[in-house]
Structure 1
């Protein structure tokens, strides 16, 4: 018998040739197969340099998109107060989103520089252009709501008033992209907790954006006009919770980062508040206090969802198994096929 270079025991010579029946002798491992994780358990990836401002950017961008979509529906169905609240909410949250993004970039001109090129393979580039297309429409629609009555009689005021509906509809058309591109942006990084969730994360973010936009409308608009907001809240919450649950169970080992630690705590409270807000939206009727409370719960749930996803991604970079094990599984699957 001879020990081979790969740790297996063969019969006969170095390769078992020349020994009758050697081909039928089953080889045995003399050394157990190593389970490599990383060099002395050290991290393979560095944690993202982003901090809480990026999580806030994810939330405020989604809130803006959900509010713009609700504002367009309110405009088309003749609900002026809900339209006003949602248009102003869309602009305010967009400005907050851009503030968090630019503040995290460190230099404001970096946002401007990203508009010099359009790169379809870059989610950041496409997201910047998406914001560029979305912002003017959301801005014009909101300015029309803020314009004093005496200014509306002027030539400029008349023009802005006439452009308000087309601008609002244009913003609503781009709103789903604004709400979901950040999920694609996270998924294109090397962070395992985000990359492995690339098939589900956009649905989580879109549902969360719809729920938060509806929550803002329920919180601030007159209760008599909150019917569309309450229906959007139920739809968005159902999509968010279903996609979130599916994601954490179908992304393999990286799903542990969503069900343990700080991320799990944040997302558990997010689900409680989101489901509670959706139930309140469905059964609260015209009770002002119940509608407003449900709206606040939906906003808080959406905020915690984004922070939970952010924390899960950071946690997945700190243990090398979330990098090595999925890579090994993909290599083994490719070898079999």
Structure 2
């Protein structure tokens, strides 16, 4: 398959490594906020502290990476001038605005040198629960944002990508909880990481084995190597997580492996999207398949 003058049909994304980093840290923050709220409700102060502080720290890194890629901080502010339910970027901006204040209040309460007065505790708990309520949408909206672009590898994966990102967020935040919470309080983090890691591994395989030409971009090149390392590290984190119920060293190994696996998953998906824009066949062939399906009377596959 060739194109005019050998040029790509679509322009490759101009984003740099900051965007997949933003995708990873945003999901990590959302999952950590859920863990922090769970630790608060179940009387696990160390897990609560790890979740709240981890949510705020990763949110700060995510915000910095996004603003650095946008080039000017005012561009994020401009997104808040209007609210467009049909725009994933607009919805995502407002989700972050709803998520950040509660995350900040809950985390800053953990940095107070003395224990909070009793009258302030319901306020802090409400702030943590508010951010945890918005957190699942924060973890998944970036997948919706990618799948609504014209990039073939992202658009064609619109059914699987949100589940991959949600599982990745749960696995990474569970790993963070195992890193910073003692073994006796990290049971919730281990369960959270196990469910997230299994979801990520299963849906990642579904994604790369889906029918159609575009599965090639997930099974070849740099994207394939990154995602294979991601699968290996996530699987290793799940296996070592079994021993983490008794061993602090196993908990650290499991947490680090899950964090690294989640990060590589986002970078692998990003690289697959870039690769799908460079070869014209990934743009033209799916369009031809949809036209053939439409002319034959069968149900066409949705396209960009």
TM superposition score category, shorter chain reference: over 0.9
Residue in 2 that maps onto 1:69: 34
Is 1:307 aligned to 2:267, yes or no?
yes
Residue in 2 that maps onto 1:322: 282
Residue in 1 that maps onto 2:301: none
Residue in 2 that maps onto 1:38: 3
Q: Structure 1 length as normaliser, TM-score?
A: 0.86
Is 1:205 aligned to 2:165, yes or no?
yes
Q: Distance in 1 between matches of 2:178 and 2:243?
A: 13
Cα offset, 1:237, TM superposition: 0.4
Residue in 2 that maps onto 1:129: 94
Q: Distance in 1 between matches of 2:136 and 2:122?
A: 24
Tell me how many residue pairs correspond in the alignment. Answer: 297
Cα offset, 1:164, TM superposition: 1.3
- Aligned in 2, Cα 1:219/1:95: closer, same or farther, shift over 3 Å? same
Q: From 215, 218, 223, give the equivalent of 1:255.
A: 215
Write the mapping of 1:196-235 to structure 2, written as runs, cut at 5 A: 196-235=156-195
Contact 1:197 1:251 in 2 (8 A): no
- Alignment deviations for residues 103-143 of structure 1 (CA, whole Å, 9 cap, x no partner): 11111011111111000111000000000000011111101
Of 38-47 and 267-276, deviating more is: 38-47
Q: Distance in 1 between matches of 2:119 and 2:288?
A: 61
- Aligned in 2, Cα 1:326/1:83: closer, same or farther, shift over 3 Å? same
Q: Give unpaired runs (5+ residues) of structure 2.
A: 298-304
Larger radius of gyration between Structure 1 and Structure 2: 1
Q: From 127, 141, 146, give the equivalent of 1:181.
A: 141
Is 1:161 aligned to 2:126, yes or no?
no
Q: From 176, 184, 198, give the equivalent of 1:238.
A: 198
Residue in 1 that maps onto 2:17: 52
- Alignment deviations for residues 183-222 of structure 1 (CA, whole Å, 9 cap, x no partner): 0000011111101101100000000000000000001111
Residue in 1 that maps onto 2:47: 82
Q: Give unpaired runs (5+ residues) of structure 1.
A: 1-35
Q: Distance in 1 between matches of 2:152 and 2:67?
A: 25
Q: Distance in 2 between matches of 1:80 and 1:285?
A: 18
- Alignment deviations for residues 287-319 of structure 1 (CA, whole Å, 9 cap, x no partner): 000011100100000000000000110011110
Q: From 265, 270, 281, give the equivalent of 2:225.
A: 265
